[in-house]
């Protein structure tokens, strides 16, 4: 039979009918939904139930009807630790609500009064006999039964005994249920916090400490020892992850020069993504950067500062890579006998050979596994994977599954700017997080639609990392928006997703692009780029304090650490974007609610003003949160100002001073 006694369909979050697990991190609240209905007019109850990896029930939450007439119910479940969890939805006949509804109507019009009282007696006698009921519940039910059965009392008085606030509270806590039907158990993979929450900072180790000799025009590369000196500043800005582009030897053949030119001079370091030289390949460190001992020291220093090191896993090779001669079958040979280099028309990467899994899938797969295991042994637990969408999905499913079986703490980020189906496929087969389309969503309509999409439509498995820029991506919005654009994008990224990232130079408002391209002039991919971060801060020309404040806000407010709790709010101006995030946080027997409301002027050139209309239900407000005049207090975590807000609120945002409000609702004001 497809249907149980109470039909339960459309359960979410479910990925391909449970073939792949939905994803969460410890403490993340997951929206569970289901369509549940039954025949006739009797009342229905719906419950979401969470089971831990030991198959022990840990949470049971009543599900709320989202919209009358839809039969769609929703609740939030919160796993507390890593592992293979499951959840289910229960539908059941609500005996008490069925009786109460009928009794209140019929007694109110004098119809079947004694029959309704008698049915109430049967109901409460049955409830009192349920095993495991507290003595206080049993006594309450027995007293209700006696009063309902006492024909000497007025009908209204008798009915009140069965519908009192005390009775309603007890049956809400432990309902009177029959015909209980449970859905299938659906998988929920709970991974470590870094899989779904974090602030990333990218920099090139070779640029940190690089020195130019003005007399000879020669460069001395930075290395892991000099790059370690940058870590304290990164940690000071509140970032969790420092991400390094490839650190391996770089090929000489077809090496790219400054600004992606086809001819490199003897001092040009080349692109780190052109991996491999006579010194070695993916299992080797570029001699300019140091030794494995130096790398281990870098990782250790990062750990001392509370940072994790993410390493680039770029499965490609320069023409000089040892693989090219030892394993030519791992590449694609063209009709003229040459090995095909990488292309993304009109872009050409003559210095890079893509790999091909079709000729020797087992041998190539085992080699990649060996490389990943090597870097894990040196303290790397996060891999940013370059262009994973150019490799077959079966390979990633195998690799990530194999690695996580032995190292469940290892996280893989997909750098996949490609079609939605592939991006979703990569998430299904195991990638814990992914780059996203956020970088190119700049207008109000684009931002609102994308925030809703990633938080409501794809959030079961797809975790977007909102990078504001990358070495390859400098959007027109940043090129021409001035410093305001940098603040605006940082606020949107830091509050719109639990994962966000910054590439070095963002805090210096670097915005000049190579002519005709959406990438930086004097791109760091092809040359050294030492920067005077400290000097910029001293001159007041750095965004670092602003980034620091955003990361502080993220750490202090649990609602910003979840993905699925975002609600887009309405505004009257076509450049004002507003959204909120609410979360109930439980510690032991206590709980508190954390709500953030973000309002951003996405026009970096002009002041915008208008009205923000709030869906108060989405803010989960209690009576104690309201002032006597029906308003509630909000505190701006960026400016320090406070205001009384309500259903509709006037805002005015000058992008050159305060382009955004990040408002925290002050709870329990009474």
Query: Active site residue: 191, 268, 312, 415, which one?
Result: 415
- So what's the pLDDT on residue 344? 78
pLDDT digits (tens, 9 = 90+) for 277-315: 999 999 999 999 999 999 999 999 999 999 999 999 999
pLDDT digits (tens, 9 = 90+) for 344-365: 787 788 899 999 999 999 999 9
Read off the DSSP letter of residue 470: B
Judge whether 316 is annotated as a binding position: yes
- So what's the pLDDT on residue 565? 98
pLDDT range class, residue 173, cuts 50, 70, 90 = very high
What is the mean predicted confidence (pLDDT) over 105-128? 96
Domain boundary among 169, 190, 211: 190
77 within a domain of the structure (yes/no): yes
Residue 670 has pLDDT above 90, yes or no: no
Query: Active site residue: 71, 191, 202, 386, which one?
Result: 386
pLDDT digits (tens, 9 = 90+) for 396-429: 999 999 999 999 999 999 999 999 999 999 999 9
How far is CA 560 from each of CA 224, 354, 406, 417, rounded to the nearest angstrom?
33, 38, 31, 25
- So what's the pLDDT on residue 516? 87
- So what's the pLDDT on residue 589? 78
Judge whether 472 is annotated as a binding position: no
pLDDT digits (tens, 9 = 90+) for 447-492: 999 999 999 999 999 999 999 999 999 999 999 999 999 999 999 9
Scanning 129-243, the segments in alpha helix (DSSP H) are 135-149, 155-162, 165-173, 224-236
Q: What is the CATH number of the domain that holds 125?
A: 2.60.40.10
- So what's the pLDDT on residue 349? 85
Give the number of domains in the chain.
2
486 within a domain of the structure (yes/no): no
Q: What is the CATH number of the domain that holds 614?
A: 2.60.40.1180
Domain boundary among 190, 214, 245: 190
Residue 504 has pLDDT above 90, yes or no: yes
Residue 574 has pLDDT above 90, yes or no: yes
Judge whether 351 is annotated as a binding position: yes
613 within a domain of the structure (yes/no): yes
Residue 342 has pLDDT above 90, yes or no: no
- Closest to 386 (Cα-Cα) out of 346, 354, 358, 414: 414
What is the mean predicted confidence (pLDDT) over 370-398? 98
pLDDT range class, residue 343, cuts 50, 70, 90 = confident
Judge whether 341 is annotated as a binding position: no
Tokens of 340: 């095909």
How far is CA 325 from each of CA 110, 281, 342, 457, rounded to the nearest angstrom?
94, 12, 18, 46
pLDDT digits (tens, 9 = 90+) for 604-639: 999 999 999 999 999 999 999 999 999 999 999 999
28 within a domain of the structure (yes/no): yes
In a 10 Å sphere around its CB, with 0-12 CB exposed, 13-18 middle and 19+ buried, how is residue 110 labelled? exposed
The count of other CB atoms within 10 Å of the CB of residue 383 is: 23
Tell me the whole-structure pTM to 2 decimals: 0.95
Q: Number of C-alpha atoms within 13 angstroms, CB side, residue 548?
A: 11
108 within a domain of the structure (yes/no): yes
Between CA 647 and CA 631 the distance in angstroms is 8
415 catalytically annotated: yes
510 catalytically annotated: no
Its domain, for residue 588, covers: 559-665
Residue 588 has pLDDT above 80, yes or no: no
468 within a domain of the structure (yes/no): no
- So what's the pLDDT on residue 626? 96
271 within a domain of the structure (yes/no): no
How far is CA 170 from each of CA 65, 128, 159, 163, 174, rounded to the nearest angstrom?
21, 12, 17, 11, 6
400 within a domain of the structure (yes/no): no
Domain boundary among 134, 169, 190: 190
Read off the DSSP letter of residue 279: T
């Amino acid at each position: 039979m497809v249907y149980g006694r109470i039909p339960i369909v459309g359960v979410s979050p479910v990925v391909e009918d449970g073939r792949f697990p939905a994803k969460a991190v410890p403490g993340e609240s997951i929206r569970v939904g289901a369509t549940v209905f039954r025949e006739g007019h009797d009342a229905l109850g719906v419950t979401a139930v969470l089971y831990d990896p030991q198959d022990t029930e840990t949470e049971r939450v009543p599900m709320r009807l989202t919209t009358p007439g839809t039969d769609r119910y929703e609740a939030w479940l919160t796993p507390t630790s890593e592992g293979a969890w499951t959840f289910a939805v229960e539908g059941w006949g609500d005996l008490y609500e069925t009786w109460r509804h009928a009794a209140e109507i019929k007694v109110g019009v004098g119809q079947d009064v004694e029959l309704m009282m008698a049915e109430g007696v049967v109901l409460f006698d049955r409830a009192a006999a349920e095993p495991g009921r507290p003595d206080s519940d049993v006594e309450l039910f027995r007293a209700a039964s006696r009063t309902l059965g006492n024909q000497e009392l007025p009908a209204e008085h008798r009915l009140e005994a069965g519908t009192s606030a005390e009775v309603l509270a007890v049956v809400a806590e432990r309902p009177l249920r029959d015909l209980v039907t449970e859905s299938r158990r659906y998988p929920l993979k709970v991974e470590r916090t870094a899989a779904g929450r974090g602030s990333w900072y990218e920099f090139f180790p070779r640029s940190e400490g690089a020195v130019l000799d003005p007399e000879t025009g020669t460069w001395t590369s930075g290395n892991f020892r000099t790059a370690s000196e940058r870590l304290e500043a990164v940690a000071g800005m509140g970032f969790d992850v420092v991400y390094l582009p490839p650190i391996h030897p770089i090929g000489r053949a077809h090496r790219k020069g400054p600004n992606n030119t086809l001819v490199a001079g003897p001092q040009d370091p080349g692109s780190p993504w052109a991996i491999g030289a006579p010194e070695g390949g993916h299992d080797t460190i570029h001699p300019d950067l140091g030794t494995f001992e130096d790398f281990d020291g870098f990782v250790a220093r990062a750990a001392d500062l509370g940072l994790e090191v993410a390493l680039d896993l770029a499965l490609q090779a320069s023409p000089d890579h040892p693989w090219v001669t030892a394993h030519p079958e791992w590449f694609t040979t063209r009709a003229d006998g040459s090995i095909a280099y990488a292309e993304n028309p009109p872009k050409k990467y003559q210095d890079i050979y893509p790999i091909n899994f079709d000729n020797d899938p087992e041998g190539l797969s085992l080699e990649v596994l060996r490389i990943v295991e090597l870097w894990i042994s040196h303290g790397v637990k996060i891999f940013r994977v370059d262009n994973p969408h150019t490799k077959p999905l079966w390979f990633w499913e195998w690799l990530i599954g194999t690695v996580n079986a032995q190292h469940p703490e290892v996280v893989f980020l997909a750098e996949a700017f490609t079609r939605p189906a592939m991006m979703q496929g990569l998430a299904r087969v195991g990638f814990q997080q992914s780059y996203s389309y956020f970088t190119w969503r700049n207008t109000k309509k684009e931002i609102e639609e994308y925030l809703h999409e990633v938080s409501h439509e794809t959030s079961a498995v797809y975790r977007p990392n909102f990078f504001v820029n990358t070495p390859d991506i400098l959007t027109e919005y940043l090129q021409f928006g001035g410093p305001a654009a940098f603040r605006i994008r940082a606020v949107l990224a830091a509050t719109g997703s639990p994962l966000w990232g910054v590439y070095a130079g963002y805090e210096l408002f670097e915005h000049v692009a190579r002519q005709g391209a959406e990438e930086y002039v004097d791109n760091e991919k092809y040359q050294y780029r030492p920067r005077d971060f400290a000097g910029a801060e001293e001159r007041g020309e750095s965004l670092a304090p602003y980034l620091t404040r955003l990361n502080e806000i993220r750490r202090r407010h649990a609602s910003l650490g979840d993905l699925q709790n975002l609600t887009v709010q309405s505004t009257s101006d076509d450049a004002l974007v507003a959204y909120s995030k609410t979360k109930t946080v439980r510690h032991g027997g206590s709980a508190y609610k954390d709500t953030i409301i973000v309002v951003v002027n996405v026009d970096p050139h002009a002041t915008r003003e208008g009205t923000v209309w709030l869906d108060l239900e989405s803010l989960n407000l209690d009576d104690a949160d309201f002032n006597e005049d029906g308003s509630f207090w909000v505190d701006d975590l960026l400016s320090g100002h406070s205001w009384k807000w309500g259903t509709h609120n006037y805002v005015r945002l000058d992008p050159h001073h305060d382009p955004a409000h990040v408002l925290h609702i002050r709870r329990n004001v009474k």
